[in-house]
Amino acid sequence: MIPAIPSKTAAKPASRGAFIVLEGVDRCGKTTQASLLIKHLVGLGLAAVAMRFPDRTTMVGDLINQYLQSKSELDDRAVHLLFSANRWEAAPALRKTLIDDGANIICDRYAHSGVAFSSSKPSLEDNLDWCRACDVGLPAPDAIIFLDIAQEEAEQRGGYGGERYEKKEMQQRVRKRFSQLQEMDEKDGRIPWFIVNAAQTIEEVQIEINEIVEKTVEKVQSEEQPVGLLWKEETKG
């Protein structure tokens, strides 16, 4: 008889990781701050994993990339669904990282960007609910850190690149949409937003972010809440 091979079971982490999302208009400094934050957390001995959306490395992400670079044209709703699909395809790995590995995730943009950008297009400006609906039920962030900067100041930071949304009027509309989404989340009371003045120096912004994130990680560890569902009641049972 062939002896049974004992199944390899990884040790369960003491607690799940925190899911931190950095949001803001283009050129607000999210990407720089996300990588500084990862280094800071690792320096504290905490596991930290970087994620970003859109994730252009997948097949869906490649379609998004072509669209953003104006190499293809797509209907506004179709591209919104692609951005959402790009998050859904990452959701199992995201959950695994938080729950099975107990690592914290620092995510550069997520569903709020999805809704803010798409609903800033004239064809979707009256369809905020439809834009949100596609992302309902995704893993919910434990904190949104919004890097706030006036559009004029963001634009001065070396100017926008040539991508589709990097235009003054669009960015102004997106900033307004983010405020609206913040109000909606605050009313709902499940996802805390932290507004950081992104016009400060890199170091000043970094200090504020580190403090917010350390508190959030502590809260997640002490409260032992499961990963939430975005814009949705927890499922029972």
For the CB of residue 15, give the shortest distance to ligand DGP in the complex, in Å. Answer: 29
Taking CB under 6 A as the rule, does residue 151 contact ligand DGP? no
| Phi, psi of 30, deg, nearest 5 | -55, -45
Element spanning 139, H or E: none
Taking CB under 6 A as the rule, does residue 109 contact ligand DGP? yes
Nearer to ligand DGP (CB atom), residue 101 or residue 166:
166
Nearer to ligand DGP (CB atom), residue 46 or residue 147:
147
Element spanning 123, H or E: none
For the CB of residue 204, give the shortest distance to ligand DGP in the complex, in Å. Answer: 22
Task: Give 98's Cβ-side CA count (13 Å radius).
Answer: 25
Taking CB under 6 A as the rule, does residue 53 contact ligand DGP? yes
For the CB of residue 124, give the shortest distance to ligand DGP in the complex, in Å. Answer: 9
Taking CB under 6 A as the rule, does residue 114 contact ligand DGP? yes
Kindly write down the DSSP assignment for every residue of 44-93, as one continuous string: TT--EEEEESS-TTSHHHHHHHHHHTTSS---HHHHHHHHHHHHHTTHHH
Binding mask 76-105 for ligand DGP (x = CB under 6 A): ----x--x----------------------
Single residue of 17, 24, 29, 54 touching ligand DGP by CB under 6 A: 54
Comparing CA positions, the residue from 25, 4, 82 lying closest to residue 198 is 25
CA triplet 113, 99, 216: central angle to 5 degrees?
Answer: 60
Nearer to ligand DGP (CB atom), residue 46 or residue 120:
120
For the CB of residue 53, give the shortest distance to ligand DGP in the complex, in Å. Answer: 6
Taking CB under 6 A as the rule, does residue 141 contact ligand DGP? no
Single residue of 19, 117, 146, 231 touching ligand DGP by CB under 6 A: 117
Question: Is the Cβ–Cβ distance between 220 and 139 less than 8 Å?
Answer: no
**The two three-digit tokens of residue 221, written as one number:** 């560890």
Single residue of 97, 104, 118, 151 touching ligand DGP by CB under 6 A: 118
DSSP 231: T
